[in-house]
């Protein structure tokens, strides 16, 4: 009985080790992949009108400028188009 218990404990440790290792490897891969593949969704840009930081995906763009809303884009255009 002693040997079987030892084998069972060894098998259990091996299984736990495999699960832990896969979880750690999977976590680092999943943690790194979205940042590498979609850097724009995480990037914060500053509104050229009110200076508020907004995720780039939610901004209104005007060439290289970013605005937090269409309103602020219009206001910026009015100010810079005379």
* Footprint of Zn ion (CB under 5 A): 47, 49-50, 68, 72
* Token digits of residue 5: 């218990």
Q: How far is the CB of 53 from Zn ion (least distance, A)?
A: 10
Q: How far is the CB of 63 from Zn ion (least distance, A)?
A: 16
SS3 content of the chain, % helix, strand, coil (to 5): 65, 15, 20
Q: How far is the CB of 39 from Zn ion (least distance, A)?
A: 22
Residue 45 vs 72, nearer CB to Zn ion: 72
Are the CB atoms for 76 and 65 separated by under 8 Å?
Answer: yes
């Amino acid at each position: 009985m002693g040997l079987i218990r030892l084998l069972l404990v060894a098998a259990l440790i091996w299984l736990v080790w495999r699960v832990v290792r896969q979880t750690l490897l999977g976590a680092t891969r999943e943690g790194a992949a979205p940042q590498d593949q979609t850097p724009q969704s995480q990037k914060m840009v500053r509104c050229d009108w009110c200076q508020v930081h907004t995720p780039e995906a939610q901004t209104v763009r005007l060439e290289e400028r970013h605005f937090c809303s269409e309103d602020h884009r219009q206001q910026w255009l009015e100010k810079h188009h005379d």
